[in-house]
Amino acid sequence: MSESSRAAGRPDIWPQARPLRLGTGKVGIVVSHGFTGSVQSIRPWAEALAAPGDGYAGARVLAPRLPGHGTSWQDLARTRWWDWYGAVEDAYLQLSQECARVFVAGLSMGGALALLLAQRHTPAGVLLVNPAIATTDRRIPVASLLHKVLPPQAGIASDIAKEGVEELGYPRFSVTSLATMTDLWKVTRRGLGDVHAPVLLLRSTQDHVVDGATAKVLTKRIRGLEQVPLTRSFHVATLDHDADLIAETSRRFVTRHA
């Protein structure tokens, strides 16, 4: 830990977790990472969205570090879902001052934050990779109710099919953090009828973190939902075999709706 961090009582931020600002395009895109992860997990996606080429104009991209992430799981336990949402909303408002059209994108829990933002603002479109706003796992609601007495749980990072690739994430997390995330899910589900922007859903056919409940909810509640299967990747598909497919499909979606 650095001397300045010690003096302030704050943990160091991982270098790979620091916020990204990329590109100089006329279109803006906010890209959010997921629960217990960091900006490292969505960096290739953000870079692809920022880079022009092959008929794509390129975009101005902001990828914020969600509070409590990229430091320690204890730090995460001190934050709540509205802290995470605030970071995404701040990035969106910043880009809105610079760009006429702004999209919002998210991986996993970042997808929930993107959908919530689309309920409260008017993005040009929403891009989702393996988003999470629901589950069929009956243990999660029970754990959320008992979060004050349950011990930390094993981490969920690096669900990746591609050999030799690792997602930086916490080895464990407080159940209090899980509880506030499920509160985010509830808030996001309630307002899905207020999402009027076009939505792209890129979903792994084999995902060991997020089950099929979210896709069923979105298919039922979001009109004109565009779905693309990711057949070669697990949950962190932005670092997996389908990273190029995600980039290509996302660039086409942005071009079409910008």
Which amino acid is it at 1?
M
Residue 109 known to bind ligand: yes
Question: Which residue out of 33, 69, 174, 207 is catalytically annotated?
Answer: 207
Phi, psi of 153 (to 5 degrees): -110, 160
Task: For residue 242, indicate whether it is catalytic.
Answer: no
Which amino acid is it at 247?
A
Burial track 14-41 (b if 16+ CB lie within 10 A, e otherwise): beebeebebbebebbbbbbbbbbbbbbb
Rounded distance between C-alpha atoms, residue 64 and residue 163, angstroms:
27
Residue 234 known to bind ligand: no
Question: Which residue out of 235, 240, 242, 250 is catalytically annotated?
Answer: 235
Task: For residue 235, indicate whether it is catalytic.
Answer: yes
Task: For residue 108, indicate whether it is catalytic.
Answer: yes
Q: Do residues 48 and 247 touch, judged by C-beta distance below 8 A?
A: yes
Question: Which residue out of 32, 38, 108, 204 is catalytically annotated?
Answer: 108
Determine if residue 25 is left, alpha or beta; phi over 0 gives left, psi from -120 to 50 gives alpha, anything else beta. Answer: beta
Binding positions: 35, 109
Residues forming the active site: 108, 207, 235
Binding positions for substrate: 35, 109
